[in-house]
Structure 1
């Protein structure tokens, strides 16, 4: 075999490999964005920064995870209202949202034992005395 045929076969093999990779990537399922409306979320991100700053001023940890009982423990005052988002980065279909309203004093436990094992981000957004707060925990079940 001479140089011309070797170069031609190398180019054909390279093009074949690239075309195979393109076809595989186009047919791939399960490619998901973090959010469907991430442009709108980016515009409103200053509000998120304000919530996180307010949370840092609190003298208590509001969101905790008990790995033994597989429960999220909320330390919110009476009258606080919010939303607990259970976010699974690898599969958007497993995401859950739990409304939270504190009627009585004391810590509130929310069981998450029914969730699929793996990496989760637990995000709590709540309103307390007219001020919005946000706290997040990364957990592994």
Structure 2
């Protein structure tokens, strides 16, 4: 049996090949280990419930007389707290989030030196975009500072 080639058969064959290519592409992209993606947070529903506390802490930090300051120095990132706060009474943590690679994310507790700043060492920070979140409490008041920075 001989198949007669005409323009109708060519159009149908082109559609079948195109659909086959699209299906192959979608399946291979969905199952490839090289193209895995992660959520920002595994417990994002729980994190959403804490959102109002973050809003209040953010308002508190905006009401300060002096803002939290972040400077890039040779030693690393220098995080300076407002001078109105006694450094020994500040408790909290600093979280640095790298959007391009979750293995570079890290969190550190706030330990302020006598000179009222916290130093994040240069060796921990690769060049590129970072999201920094500083959450601290001072005299039973919570504060939150968030910023995108390029190191």
Q: Which category of TM-score, normalised to the shorter sequence, fits these structures?
A: 0.7 to 0.9
Task: Deviation per CA, 1:17-62: give whole Å up to 9, x if none.
Answer: 2112212321233311111111111122111111111111012121
Match of 1:43 among 41, 46, 49: 49
Please say which of residues 82-91 and 12-21 is displaced more in the overlay. Answer: 12-21
Unpaired runs of 5+ residues, structure 1, are none
Q: Decide which of 101, 110, 124 is 1:114's aligned counterpart.
A: 124
What is the match of residue 76 of structure 2?
70
Root-mean-square deviation over aligned CA pairs: 2.0
Gaps of 5+ in 2: none
Q: 2:122, 2:60 → 1: CA distance?
A: 27
SS of the residue 2:71 aligns to: strand
In the superposition, the TM-score normalised over structure 1's length comes to 0.87
Report the alpha carbon displacement of residue 115 of structure 1 after superposing the two structures with TM: 1.9
SS of residue paired to 1:132: strand
Contact 1:85 1:123 in 2 (8 A): yes
For these two proteins, the number of residue pairs brought into alignment is: 141
Tell me the secondary structure at the aligned position of residue 110 of structure 2: strand
User: Distance in 1 between the 2:109 and 2:19 partners?
Assistant: 53
1:96 partnered with 2:106: yes
- Give the aligned partner of residue 16 of structure 1: 20
- Determine helix, strand or coil for the equivalent of 1:42: helix
| Cα distance in 1, alignment partners of residues 149 and 122 from structure 2 | 11
Give the TM-score normalised by structure 2.
0.82
